[in-house]
Amino acid sequence: MPNARKLSPRNISPSIISTAALAISSAINFLGVMLWVRILSPQQFGIFALLSSSALFINALAFEWIRTMVARLLYDASSPYLVNKRKSFLMLLLVASIAAVLLILSLAAYLSDVTVGGMNATLLPIVVLYAISEMAITMINSTSRVRMLHWQFFASMVFRSALVIVVGYVFVVHLRLGAEGLALGTALAQFGAVILICLVDPVWRKFSARAMLTSYRGADFREIFGFGGPLIVSNGLTYLVSIIDRYLIAAFLGSMWVGFYVAPLDLTAKTIGILMLALNIVFYPAVVRAYEDQGRDVARRKMEENLAVQLLLLSLPVVLLTSFPGEVCRVVLGHNFSTESRYILPWLTISVAFRVLISNFIMIIFQLEKKTTGVALAPAISLVTVVPLGLLGMWLDGIRGMAIAAAAAQAFTWAVCLVAAKRAMPVRVVGPDVVKILGIDAALCLLAWALPRPQDAVYLIVDAAIIGAAFVVLALVVRLQALAPILALVRRRR
């Protein structure tokens, strides 16, 4: 065909590249979870979960507010690299300064043999290195997305995931360093991915420390701290809410039960969480540009459409994980974890589903309208709700009580924050598409209940394929408006 475009990396849709990056990297991460639960005991896996959670909490508190500003404030259509040079240098200076302070403090604690938060001095440098490596890889990925370097983002995501498994396996199996080795190996692997991107990206190769120290203005400081200051608290609270349950379990039940709890939680994060992240990576820059370039009403309509797409994408994984928890845990997590984890997987699935809806819908509304106090509302409500409910739940029913409490807290937070978000931006939540999607969910649940319980991986895949086929058929039959752009694209490709 003379008019057909030749398929090459340059004419592949950016959304396809970003989605592929998330799909491949999450698949590798998923295999990583399956590997770690088979070579680490529940107690060692629980210790690793606590180490990684501490590192990611430091990252959320110290660096995540800057990463959020990268996505919200760094875009500049008039710049050759699509980023504001002065602000980018200022943000880089802030990152470097905070990282230096954390390293100095961790080294001082190590030399003084100080215990911080129940963590001995030997582990503190590992946790800080992990936190800084997480910051570095997320900053690299965020700037790549802002600059629309989609293949660079793809390379970073996939290489990082693969390298974590290779280095982590060496540290755990061959060097026999256990949970500490897996945390250290993850940090080193992430630094390796960052170095690779810096070597191939001409902007990073031309980096100048002098320019970083002299290229910004006082107005940049005021804008960044005016918008980002409240995010320090909100991001810290947001991540604290996502990990407080494992700290409560460690304090009252022990690290072994943290392992039983976190294994299915990681399973939901590597499925539901990554699926929603893939959508958000494509959607968030687009809605920011729509808000800035086309106005508030256009952004509001995009938010309403995006909510329907989120609910549609959540349908299939939520139904499968809540309908076949025992079978999924046995296949994915193995026998060491499935006996206890199967009872909490449905509740953790519900909790994570509400959490991603809060992050990818309500939080985006607050960020678009620059309602920074609203951004802190959701984690504050979750925190004051989940702690008493979690303590009561563990007293009544162990880790399952904690999982039920987490689901209830997230549902309550969604309901309260939705009211506040609608005041900031009057979005319509219950539209025709949402009603149809909820009907699809109910039909899929009935189908899953009617199917025989799968006895092994093959039958589980068959049941998942049947439910997946029903999902596709129902989504097409009810003519969801959210699918209209996708169907139009398919027709054009024919």
Structure confidence by residue, pLDDT tens digits, 236-295:
777 788 888 988 998 889 889 999 999 999 888 878 877 777 677 667 767 777 777 777
Cα 479 from Cα 305, distance rounded (Å):
14
Answer for the pair 276, 356: CB distance below 8 angstroms, yes or no. yes
- Which burial class, exposed, middle or buried, applies to 376 when counting CB atoms under 10 A from its CB (0-12, 13-18, 19+)? buried
Query: Does 475 reside within a domain?
Result: no
pLDDT at residue number 209: 59
Q: Give tens-digit pLDDT for 136-166.
A: 888 788 777 766 777 888 888 899 999 999 9
Answer for the pair 23, 206: CB distance below 8 angstroms, yes or no. no
Which band of pLDDT confidence, cut at 50, 70 and 90, is reported for residue 6? very low
pLDDT at residue number 143: 73
- Residue 386: pLDDT over 90: yes
Any idea what the Cα angle at residue 383 is, between residues 380 and 384, rounded to 5°? 90
Residue 214 is inside which H or E element, if any?
helix 209-214
Q: Give tens-digit pLDDT for 111-141.
A: 887 766 566 778 888 999 999 998 888 878 8
Q: Once rounded to an integer, what is the mean pLDDT over residues 51-63? A: 86
Query: Does 170 reside within a domain?
Result: yes
Query: Does 21 reside within a domain?
Result: yes
Query: Does 246 reside within a domain?
Result: no
Cα 421 from Cα 363, distance rounded (Å):
8
Query: Does 323 reside within a domain?
Result: no
Query: Does 43 reside within a domain?
Result: yes
**Does residue 471 or residue 95 have the better pLDDT?**
471
Residue 299: partners with Cβ closer than 8 Å, 6 or more residues away: 287, 290, 291, 368, 425
Query: Does 34 reside within a domain?
Result: yes
Q: Count up the domains in the chain and report the number.
A: 1
**Does residue 300 or residue 6 have the better pLDDT?**
300
pLDDT at residue number 425: 82
Which band of pLDDT confidence, cut at 50, 70 and 90, is reported for residue 2? very low
The alpha-carbon radius of gyration of the chain (Å, integer) is 23
Q: Once rounded to an integer, what is the mean pLDDT over residues 198-221? A: 65
Cα 89 from Cα 211, distance rounded (Å):
7
Instruction: Provide the domain limits for residue 151.
Output: 13-216
Reported pTM: 0.80
Query: Does 181 reside within a domain?
Result: yes
Cα 286 from Cα 280, distance rounded (Å):
10
The share of the chain scoring above pLDDT 70, in percent, equals 81
Rounded to a whole number of angstroms, the distance between the first and last alpha carbons of the chain is 12
Answer for the pair 145, 81: CB distance below 8 angstroms, yes or no. no
